[in-house]
Structure 1
Amino acid sequence: MATTKVEGTTDAEEKPKEFVRPPFDPVGDIKKGITHMLFNPDATLILLPILLLGESMALKFITKQIPYTEIDYEAYMEQIDMIVKDKNLNYAEIRGGTGPLVYPAGHVWIYRFMYWVTNGMEDLAMGQQFFRYLYIGTLFFQLLTYYELQIQPWCVVLACLSKRLHSIFILRLFNDCFETFFMVSSIYFFVKACKSKRRTPWVTLASVAYTFAVSVKMNGLLFLPGVLVAIYLLTDGNLITSMTYVLGMAAWQIVVATPFLLHFPREYISGAFNFERQFFHHWSINWQFISEDVFLGQLFQRGLLITHIVLLVILILFKHVEIIPDGIKSLVQPRTSVHKLSSTELVNTVPFILIMSNFIGIICARSLHYQFLSWYHWTIPILIHWSKLPFFIGPIWYVCHEWCWNSYPPNDTASVLLFFCNTSLLSIILLVENFKFYLDTALEEKKMQ
């Protein structure tokens, strides 16, 4: 039976193409592999198990070779001892070697558990092992977040290079580590919500993780403006739904603190959420280049607060200028969804506002102590990626920044350099985002023509 020839084709075109083996080029293949591992965000999935395993081994080595340094953990145990053994629930009276109890009730419940894990101060090795797991768990959520945000792998690796951060976790056992774990997981859940068609479960998880973080240490409030905007945008501007999440987060703060609120409510609130607490200038890494009198003065502190608020307003309006008219619509029609952003728009807006609101808070903080690095170190790979700093510049910035946090004791030089590093990175990110905004606007106008 004769085959029918397709009209307009030749015999040569009908023949299947022969397989041509690519040339043997090991050098070129290695170059492509290195380029892929450095610049392709998908390579983060390859790095994830490698970095987790490497960090686990590094933490074991550090624990074995470097002795534990006592700073606050004994004070935590002394404070828990007063609560557990003396049945004292008055925040005004609960004290340890380094001072009064100044953390919310979530801290108390966590360190009651740690009190059992380490048997007070008897088994610190077990505590270090627990914090090693906490570090790995935190890093796991970090790496997942980097992948979801498509961060370049060379930036991702920076998350594992901080000498100070390793010390904060397994050589100091600070409560900042728990707050960081909950905060990182919260941001990851918010990012997943941006990409999901069913946002409610992810927003719920994000809200729960966030309120857990704040119940451990109130520096989580630096994320609060971003969290409120994120919830509002992810609920399509439905004010009633947004307020449900907010009230749920507030309810947890009451539930976790119930034993203290029932007996000494005023003492608890003024102790756990004391916004007027004064810090020691001597231990403040970020403001050593100003005098102690200025540092403790009301003018300086109010100036920082005003600067913080102004920068937050600029940030939010810059990324979502429609939030003011949308907010007015929501007040008029609180049960109605006033906008519906696409997943792409949400991913470009929500994580940026969340992470940048915290970074702005860090820059405007009245005081930064060594352990406070954990508040934002995990965001540095994201910030460097957003800044578009070249491959050979980003690591230099990181080394300078890390030197500031490892310079002991706090001094003028490290303080000035830290201020320059953080403010310059903030400025570069905003300039890059501004350029992208005008470029996207120009492209949209060109399409409409």
Structure 2
Amino acid sequence: MTSENKAMAIKSAVGGKHFMVIKGCKISKAAFSSALLVLDALLVSLIIAYVPYTKIDWDAYMSQVTGFFQGERDYSNLKGDTGPLVYPAGFLYVYSAIQYVTGGEVYPAQILFGILYIVNLGIILFVYMNTDVLPWWALSLLCLSKRVHSIFVLRLFNDCFAMTFLHAALALLLFQRWHLGLIIFSVAVSIKMNVLLYAPPLLVLMLKAMTIKGVISALTGAALVQILFGLPFLLSHPVAYISRAFNLGRVFIHFWSVNFKFVPDEVFVSKGFAVCLLIVHLVLLTGFAHYRWCKHEGGLIRFLHSKIVTMKLRSAVSSSSSLIQFFHDDSTFNILSKEHIVTTMFVGNFIGIFCARSLHYQFYSWYFYSLPFLLWKTPFPTPLRVILFLGVELCWNIYPSNLYSSFALFCIHVAILWGLWKAPCEYPYLDSYNDAISSTHAILIDNHLWKTYTHWILFKKEQQS
């Protein structure tokens, strides 16, 4: 065996999912991830100590928080030097706590964000460790972004907290903790609304994993979080809060766009361009949901039809104890595989990123941590995956963005999206039993169960006549 082969990390024949072998030494997966965390923590410390902080939004955040502390509850009056407050109430609570802890000083806030960076990286590594999509060495890609380090510890953006809570929610979903996961997801939304890009794939997963009753109860819990967080503002100035915090019609400045700088300014700000992107977004989501995410259920339409019929059948035959036992009234319906959950969530978010009218530099944190996973889900060879990853990182580190960098980023996004479309679909359910049930679920509903429901309706009509 050559020295190169000995140096190459390979899966161990014993416990291959949990160990790798480097020069004959067996190293656990957790140990490798822990080493990455330690090394990145050292790097973050060096960045904080030696790289100058860049003032962008911190003063505006502190001004908005100060207004909140002084008793202002009208969102239209909460402003900073970069403009009015445009984030939901969770943002105010998070940065109020930061101001209380740090006194509004930048350096202690950088330390706090450095800790947040490591916590977020730990959560992401935990997610990756539970899916086994990437080879061992590729986990190190999660630590190599210059731009993401800057977003966390040199810019102190609220995107950092939003994405950390989102990743925590995703980790909970891996273990079927849907209700708690939805609550944490809602907390993330309350800090920044970009998290809603995950909402469509999350809804599909909930419908696959839970009964309608479970979905409604989980969504109710998420809605209550938004109401409770926004209550001080909803009680005093509801219109100002809703219009400012949940403004979906904002038009961004063309200069700061990283992804569509190659589009002329007059087209970029036009309503027609926004409508076109929205249509593309909806088409892509529908296409992936029908042909990819619900492939094993017979497609999106059949899957939704089966859910509706199941709900009707539950209601119609509630007096039948045997059918009650078959359709037990529990919020958990199927157990989804971890890989399917992560794939669906990351792909759904990436579709939103692809169709976003403007991506600012801090928005890179919205999808950077999903890039290695997405690239290794494509059928591309490993060298091409690495090239695409480095290409994305390069485009995000060109400042200011220009026609060539934004067009290159657009082309890379197209390539990744195409690769995800061509990739084979993973089994959505945890085991072969659940998979068999899901594969035939729509057929059973359309045949035997629908006939049962029809016969019951005819029987009731005969009784009434």
Q: Give TM-score scaled by structure 1 length.
A: 0.84
- Residues 399 and 369 from structure 1, CA distance in 2 versus in 1: closer, same or farther, beyond 3 angstroms? same
In the TM superposition, what whole-angstrom CA distance separates every residue of 1:41-68 from its partner, at most 9, and x where no partner exists?
5344232111100010000001111011
Deviation at 1:389, TM superposition (A): 2.8
The answer for the alignment partner of 1:64 in structure 2 is 49
In the TM superposition, what whole-angstrom CA distance separates every residue of 1:136-176 from its partner, at most 9, and x where no partner exists?
11001100100111122233211111000000000010000
Deviation at 1:246, TM superposition (A): 0.4
Counterpart among 140, 149, 173 of residue 157 in structure 1? 140
- Residues 259 and 404 from structure 1, CA distance in 2 versus in 1: closer, same or farther, beyond 3 angstroms? same
The answer for the alignment partner of 2:60 in structure 1 is 75
- Asked whether the equivalents of residues 214 and 332 of structure 2 are also in contact (C-alpha less than 8 Å), the reply is no
- Residues 263 and 384 from structure 1, CA distance in 2 versus in 1: closer, same or farther, beyond 3 angstroms? same
The answer for the alignment partner of 1:424 in structure 2 is 415
- One-letter code aligned to 1:156: L
Q: In the alignment, is residue 407 of structure 1 matched against residue 398 of structure 2?
A: yes
The answer for the alignment partner of 2:309 in structure 1 is 329
Deviation at 1:394, TM superposition (A): 1.6
Q: In the alignment, is residue 287 of structure 1 matched against residue 267 of structure 2?
A: no
- Residues 55 and 368 from structure 1, CA distance in 2 versus in 1: closer, same or farther, beyond 3 angstroms? same
- Gapped regions of structure 1 (runs ≥ 5): 1-24, 194-201, 445-449
- Asked whether the equivalents of residues 284 and 368 of structure 1 are also in contact (C-alpha less than 8 Å), the reply is yes
The answer for the alignment partner of 1:89 in structure 2 is 73
The answer for the alignment partner of 2:233 in structure 1 is 260
- Asked whether the equivalents of residues 179 and 221 of structure 2 are also in contact (C-alpha less than 8 Å), the reply is no
- Asked whether the equivalents of residues 183 and 209 of structure 1 are also in contact (C-alpha less than 8 Å), the reply is yes
SS in 2 for 1:180: helix
Deviation at 1:416, TM superposition (A): 0.5
- Residues 241 and 62 from structure 1, CA distance in 2 versus in 1: closer, same or farther, beyond 3 angstroms? same
Deviation at 1:424, TM superposition (A): 0.6
The answer for the alignment partner of 1:173 in structure 2 is 156
SS in 2 for 1:230: helix
- One-letter code aligned to 1:133: I
Deviation at 1:326, TM superposition (A): 2.2
SS in 2 for 1:393: helix
The answer for the alignment partner of 1:276 in structure 2 is 249
Deviation at 1:125, TM superposition (A): 1.3
Q: How does 1:162-311 map to 2 (within 5 A)?
A: 162-193=145-176, 202-235=177-210, 238-311=211-284
The answer for the alignment partner of 2:449 in structure 1 is none
Deviation at 1:330, TM superposition (A): 4.5
The answer for the alignment partner of 1:140 in structure 2 is 122
- One-letter code aligned to 2:118: I
- One-letter code aligned to 1:325: H
The answer for the alignment partner of 1:12 in structure 2 is none
Counterpart among 124, 131, 143 of residue 113 in structure 2? 131
Q: Percent identity of the aligned residues? A: 33
- Residues 126 and 306 from structure 1, CA distance in 2 versus in 1: closer, same or farther, beyond 3 angstroms? same
- Residues 354 and 330 from structure 1, CA distance in 2 versus in 1: closer, same or farther, beyond 3 angstroms? farther
Q: In the alignment, is residue 35 of structure 1 matched against residue 10 of structure 2?
A: yes
Structure 2 Cα separation of the partners of residues 396 and 361 of structure 1: 23
The answer for the alignment partner of 2:95 in structure 1 is 111
Structure 2 Cα separation of the partners of residues 340 and 431 of structure 1: 31
- Asked whether the equivalents of residues 41 and 147 of structure 1 are also in contact (C-alpha less than 8 Å), the reply is no
Deviation at 1:332, TM superposition (A): 2.2
- One-letter code aligned to 1:46: A
- Asked whether the equivalents of residues 59 and 170 of structure 1 are also in contact (C-alpha less than 8 Å), the reply is yes
- Residues 26 and 284 from structure 1, CA distance in 2 versus in 1: closer, same or farther, beyond 3 angstroms? closer
Counterpart among 21, 35, 40 of residue 50 in structure 1? 35
Moved more, 428-437 or 221-230: 428-437
Q: Give TM-score scaled by structure 2 length.
A: 0.81
The answer for the alignment partner of 1:392 in structure 2 is 383
Deviation at 1:333, TM superposition (A): 4.3
The answer for the alignment partner of 1:17 in structure 2 is none
- Gapped regions of structure 2 (runs ≥ 5): 20-28, 316-326, 437-465
Structure 2 Cα separation of the partners of residues 348 and 30 of structure 1: 30
- Residues 141 and 435 from structure 1, CA distance in 2 versus in 1: closer, same or farther, beyond 3 angstroms? closer
- Residues 328 and 221 from structure 1, CA distance in 2 versus in 1: closer, same or farther, beyond 3 angstroms? same
SS in 1 for 2:249: coil
Structure 1 Cα separation of the partners of residues 81 and 306 of structure 2: 51
- Residues 323 and 114 from structure 1, CA distance in 2 versus in 1: closer, same or farther, beyond 3 angstroms? same
Structure 1 Cα separation of the partners of residues 155 and 60 of structure 2: 12
Structure with max Cα Rg? 1
Deviation at 1:253, TM superposition (A): 0.2
Structure 2 Cα separation of the partners of residues 306 and 400 of structure 1: 27
SS in 2 for 1:149: coil
- Residues 218 and 65 from structure 1, CA distance in 2 versus in 1: closer, same or farther, beyond 3 angstroms? same
Structure 1 Cα separation of the partners of residues 359 and 30 of structure 2: 33
Deviation at 1:349, TM superposition (A): 3.3
